[in-house]
Structure formats: structure tokens, C-alpha cells
Amino acid sequence: MSRGSMLEVTGELDSALRPLVRAWLAQRQAANHRRDGRLLGEAEGDAAIRVTAVEVLRPGRPGILDVVAEVGDRAGHAVLGLHRIGEEPHQLRPGEEAVLGFFTDAEGTAIVVDALYDADLAPLVLQAVLGDRHRAAFEVVAEDDLGTVVVFEDRCLTVLTWLADGPHPAVEVLVALDEVGFNHLAAPLSVWRRAGKNGKV
């Protein structure tokens, strides 16, 4: 479970984050298109976006914002990383533009990236969620319209792209299998929930 602080979503914050969520969504759609030959969830590209929740998982620079936004009739979930201006993001998607845009807060203006694909920030996401400080080596092993799976040595972080109201079937199945002693899959160490929405393990 995360231990960050929640920000009040004002009109100004919503206006600042909406273009970043749209760029994040376009980046995910482009990655899905390259892999599958079709554009998954392409209707979301033109959908109205409204930011509904922002949690500061890590303040400062590098920083991490956990953003939930209404995208059409779905709840999208983006983990955005903040770098100082002038820092070169270490993007794990080769041949793809890493920068989603810029964001200004009390620390000044930051370069914004998808934190799950940034070599410096992804371990900090794991640290924020699990309090685990010792795993820097990692690999993104799966990505599709449902979510992203990142493996850190003996830890695995699954972040679902779309959140559900109440229990999310993908999460509940993992928890239930572990509870009945099915040991062929990694046991969930934590379930990351907020405001009744479920979709991050």
C-alpha cells in the first residue's frame, strides 16, 4: 500500500495534468499498436479526460505522481515521474519519445515521463508501494491495454491501466489463489487501493 499524500484536485491541477494523461494514453496506445498490429482502446484517444485523484508517492525531484482520471466512462491510472529540467530520462522503450510534457509545482517545472518505463524512477515506485529500497535491477515483462508488469529481481509489480469500482477480478483472483495455497504464481505482497477502486498489485 502506498504512503503518499493526496492533493486536492483543483481546476488548475486538472488543467495541468489532463494533457499529460492524454500523452500517456497515446503512448500506451502506440506501444499496443506496434506490438499487436491494432490500436487497443483507440476510442479513449478522443474521450474527455477529467483528473479525479492525485497522490504524491514521492515528492521533489525525482518525484512520482499517481494519477487517476476519468477517460470517457473508464477510470485510467497513470504513474507519472518527474525529473528536473536538464536531466536526461533513461527510457526503457527504445526509439520512443520519453517525455510526456511538463508539470510545474512548488519545486518548479519538471519533465514528466511514464515512471514505470524510467530506469531511475521505476525502483522508486516499488519503494513507495512496498517500502522496498534495495532493488534497482528490473525489467518490464508485459504491457497491454490491461496493464504493465514490472519484475524487480524477486519482486513483481503489476499496475493496471484501468481501475474498477470495488474489487478488480484480476487482483481478486491472485489473492484468492494465494489464500488457498496455489503456489505456482508469485504471492501478492500488497494490494494498492484507493477510494474504493482496485487495480494495482
The predicted model scores a pTM of 0.83
pLDDT at 188: 64
pLDDT at 38: 42
**How many structural domains compose the chain?**
1
Tell me which residue range forms the domain holding 59.
Answer: 5-200
pLDDT digits (tens, 9 = 90+) for 23-50: 999 988 886 665 544 444 444 555 799 9
pLDDT at 37: 47
How far apart are alpha carbons 178 and 13 in whole angstroms? Answer: 39
Q: Which parts of the chain sit beneath pLDDT 50?
A: 1, 36-43, 199-201
- Please write down the HEC assignment for all residues of the chain: CCCCEEECCCHHHHHHHHHHHHHHHHHHHHHHHHHHCCCCCHHHHHCCEEEEEEEEEECCCCEEEEEEEEECCEEEEEEEEEEECCCCCCECCCCCCCCCEEEEECCEEEEEEEHHHECCCHHHHHHHHHCCCCCCCCEEEEECCCEEEEEECCEEEEEEEEEEEECCHHHHHHHHHHHCCCCCCCCCCCCEEECCEEEEC
